[in-house]
Amino acid sequence: MWKNDGKPKVLVGMSGGVDSSVAASMLLEQGYDVAGAFMKNWSDTKDERTGECAWKEERRDAMRVAAQLGIAFETFDFEEEYSRRVVDYLYREYAAGRTPNPDVLCNREVKFDLFLKEALARGADFIATGHYARVQRSGDRYQLLAGLDRAKDQSYFVHALGQEQLKHALFPIGHLDKRDVRAYARDKGIATAEKKDSQGICFIGKVEMRDFLKRVLAPKPGAIVTTEGKEIGRHPDAQAFTVGQRHGLGVGGGPALYVVAADVATGTVTVAEGADHPALYRDRLMAEDWHWVSGRAPELPLRCRARIRYRQPLQVCEVVPSEEDGRLIVRFDAPQRAVTPGQFVVLYDGDEVLGGGVIAE
C-alpha cells in the first residue's frame, strides 16, 4: 500500500464525494505518502435511479479518483460493526422516544475508531477525511477547531474525538470554503468535481424514517393533541416524530402545526400552532454522557457558546453542575427553539471545540 519512501503515510477515507477526493489530492501535493480506502458500512439502501445498492456507486467513484491520483485503494467491510454500534443505537434511541444523531456516532465509532485502527495496523501515521474542521497542536495537546467555512463547518459532528484520535487525524480542507473545494476539483479534473453532496443518515443515505424504524420497532400509533389537550387527529407511529417537526403529521386545513413532544409510551404526539409558539422554546437543558476533547472536564460554572444542532449559530450559555451525578445543565442567555432529547449539545470557546453531551431533557 505504501511506497516506503520516508514520507509520512496517510490513509484517506474516500467516500466517493468531492470533499474526500480533494483531501486526497491535496495531501499528495503536500508530500504525503497517500493511499485511499472505502468503508462499506451499509448495503441495504438502493439508488432511486438505478435500483443498485448505493454503496457500490459510491465506491466506484472513490476508485475512479484513486486511479486518477495514482494511489493504492482498498475496501474495508465494517458492516457488521456498523450495524451493532450505530444502527442498533439508532433503534434504541427512537424506541426510548429520543432523536439520535447518527453522524456523531459514525465518526466516533467507525471513522475514528475502526478505520483509524485498521490504518495504524497497516503502518499509517495519519488518517484523513473530508470534514470541514481543523486540528491544531498546542504544546502537548491537540485542539479541535471549527472549519473556516461557517456554512459547512462540521466540527459538531466530530466533537466526540479525543487526544489520541486527533493526534492521528488530518482534515485537509478544513481551512477552505466549499466553493474553493469545488474549484480545486474542477481545476485538477477530479472525477467527482460536480457530484452533489450526500444526504440522509450517515452511510445509510436518504430513507423514509418511518419505514426504516418499522424494520425493527413495532409502531406506536396514537393521538395528535394540541398543547391544550384537544385531540385533532391520529398518527401511525410516535417514534418517527421529533421536536420542531412540521411535515408528516397528516393534519391539514388549518394553521401550520409543529411537534412539541412525542410520548412513545402512550403514543401521544403534542403539537402547537406556529413556528414560534412558546411551547417550542426552552432556556435550558440537561445533558449527560459528556465527552471533553482535551480529556479533562473544565471548571464550572463555565461561560461559553453552544449549539444544539448542526449549523445552528452559536449561542451564549453558562454550564453549571446539576444535582444528578454526571449530568450538567446548560443555561442559555436566549431561549432555544426545539431542544431535542437524544441530540448533542456541543460547547465552544471561540473556534475551539471543548466537548459535548447528549441532551437528556
Catalytic residue set: 106, 202
Q: What is the 3-state secondary structure (H, E, C) of the chain?
A: CCCCCCCCEEEEECCCCHHHHHHHHHHHHCCCEEEEEEEECCCCCECCCCCCEHHHHHHHHHHHHHHHHCCEEEEEECHHHHHHHHHHHHHHHHHCCCCCCHHHHHHHHHHHHHHHHHHHHCCCCEEECCCCEEEEEECCEEEEEECCCCCCCCCCCCCCCCHHHHHCEECCCCCCCHHHHHHHHHHHCCCCCCCCCCCCECCCECCCHHHHHHCCCCCCCEEEEECCCCEEEEECCHHHCCCCCCCCCCCCCCCCEEEEEEECCCCEEEEEECCCCHHHEEEEEEEEEEEECCCCCCCCCEEEEEECCCCCCCEEEEEEECCCCCCEEEEEEEEEECCCCCCEEEEEECCEEEEEEEECC
